[in-house]
Amino acid sequence: MTLDSPLARLPGIAITPDAIEVLADAASYRRALFDLIEGATRRIVLVALYLQEDEAGQEVLDALYRAKAARPELDITVVVDLFRAQRGLLGAGKQPGNAAWYQAQRRLQGLDVAIHGVPVQTRELFGVLHLKGSVIDDCVLYTGASFNNVYLHRFDRYRLDRYHLLRSPALADSMVQVVRQIIDGDATPRLDQPDVPDSRSLRGKIRRLRERMRQLQYRVALPVSEGLRVVPLLGIGRGNALNYTLCALVRAARGELVVCTPYFNPPRMLMREIRLALARGVQVELIVGHRTANDFYVAPEEPFSASAALPYLYEDNLRAFARRQHRALERGQLHIRMWNDPGHTFHAKGLWVDQRYSLLTGNNFNPRGFNLDLENALLIDDPDGEWLAPRQAELDGIRRHTEQVDHASDLGEKGDHPKKVRTFLRRLRYTRLEPLIKRML
């Protein structure tokens, strides 16, 4: 990497190899989360798309209230998406949403555990809070997971994500500062308190908040450009710095590129860089969730909903890509791995470039992540190979339940889809809504 490259100019925070810990699985993440909450002395800032009203969610909220009762001076803030917190689960009918539960728990506990709802757009369809990374004292617990039974492996089922614990006061301070700036205003109401403002009354404030978020970046005091470092990145909307960095990472690949995503629907600018990487001889590996490992998957014998067609749409995208790149597949330059641990789901995302860069992110590498949602990432830059063993161990763990796709035909055909899925997708194509739907997913 030359000093004038865009990656070299990114402000990074120096970190030692032993300060970055890879947690092996969801159960390990759950234990680390509760241990950190129990031992917190100054601050707890939990950030996720949602904190669900279920057994695991109740355990998280109980742990926060216990910590507050034991240490009243502890500053505790939970940040979730405003609209996601005020509706029920998709396909579950009319429900009061998690906000009603937050309020009931506050009345029961009588303690101040602030839960803020952040609206990224005036409607959930057009953008959600996809920010990742919780801070407890000087530790950053970074994962794409939210808080519920399956993400925390509370019972038999788990949803595989990536889990990293970074011990860095500078990184923790930088991430907390951004969260504080986001919730500093009347567009991010307290959801644990009654009388949450109606979304219509917040529209003007939400638009102003989104404009303010577009200007936000992580501040790094004493940035470094050499040695092992972590670079925090933030982005919202088209043309943001995070999007350009993602593409720059793929562009920087010379020997090896690994792309991991549960939903194969890359935006054009990222797909272009992947094609160019293949053209210049880079070994490219895609790790993608099998349709049955998709969190939207519904078995054919169960009631059909529009969201149940999404896993098949992603599979169609991957099949089309495999057909276009069949020569790279045949010569072993392109590797496609499908993750499938029956009964469980897949939610891991990230980039690994050569033996140097590792990107932790909640970004799904799709048009929605590039254009609508509030996203962030942590880029680990390891120019001297100080952190290669944990990096490789994590990749090996992700590959554990994968199968190699040797030909596009291994992914089946559109005609194999259940009849209701075929009918729904055919209607999308006839009405020319498919490109629009792909941009919203």
| Average pLDDT of the residues in 278-304 | 95
Four-residue CA torsion sign, 324, 328, 331, 337: negative
pLDDT at 428 over 50: yes
Token duo for residue 232:
């925090």
Token duo for residue 89:
């689960």
Among the ranges given (33-37, 306-310, 340-344), the one the predictor scored with the smallest mean pLDDT? 306-310
> Of how many residues is the chain composed?
441
What are the boundaries of each domain within the chain?
17-215, 234-440
pLDDT at 147 over 90: yes
To 5 degrees, how large is the angle CA 123–CA 127–CA 132? 130
Catalytic residues: 130, 161, 347, 375
User: Cβ distance 57 to 155 under 8 Å?
Assistant: no
* Tens of pLDDT, residues 44-79: 999 999 999 999 999 999 999 999 999 999 999 999
Looking up tokens 């067609």 gives 309
Q: How confident is the model at residue 163 (pLDDT cuts 50, 70, 90)?
A: very high
Residue type, 52: Q
Question: What is the C-alpha separation between 402 and 96, in angstroms, rounded?
Answer: 38
Residue type, 339: W
- Identify which of 160, 130, 84, 179 has the alpha carbon closest to the alpha carbon of residue 362: 130
Domains 17-215 and 234-440 share a fold: yes
392-405 residues labelled b (16+ CB within 10 A) or e (exposed): eebbeebbebbeeb
Question: What is the C-alpha separation between 131 and 373, in angstroms, rounded?
Answer: 9
Q: How confident is the model at residue 307 (pLDDT cuts 50, 70, 90)?
A: confident
pLDDT value for 225: 86
Among the ranges given (125-139, 261-275, 325-339, 420-434), the one the predictor scored with the smallest mean pLDDT? 420-434
pLDDT value for 104: 97
Q: How confident is the model at residue 221 (pLDDT cuts 50, 70, 90)?
A: confident
Q: CB 313: neighbour CB atoms within 10 A?
A: 22
Question: What is the C-alpha separation between 340 and 11, in angstroms, rounded?
Answer: 37
316-352 residues labelled b (16+ CB within 10 A) or e (exposed): bbbbebbeebeebbeeebbbbbbbbeeebbbbbbbbb
* CATH code matching the domain that covers 17-215, chosen among 3.90.1150.10, 1.10.3720.10, 3.30.870.10, 3.30.1360.120: 3.30.870.10
pLDDT at 89 over 80: no
Among the ranges given (174-178, 341-345, 416-420), the one the predictor scored with the smallest mean pLDDT? 416-420
Determine the CATH number of domain 234-440.
3.30.870.10
pLDDT value for 12: 97
Question: What is the C-alpha separation between 298 and 89, in angstroms, rounded?
Answer: 14
* Tens of pLDDT, residues 225-249: 899 999 999 999 888 999 999 999 9
| Average pLDDT of the residues in 207-223 | 94
Mean pLDDT of the chain: 94
Q: CB 110: neighbour CB atoms within 10 A?
A: 8
pLDDT value for 93: 47
User: Cβ distance 37 to 406 under 8 Å?
Assistant: no
| Average pLDDT of the residues in 357-375 | 96
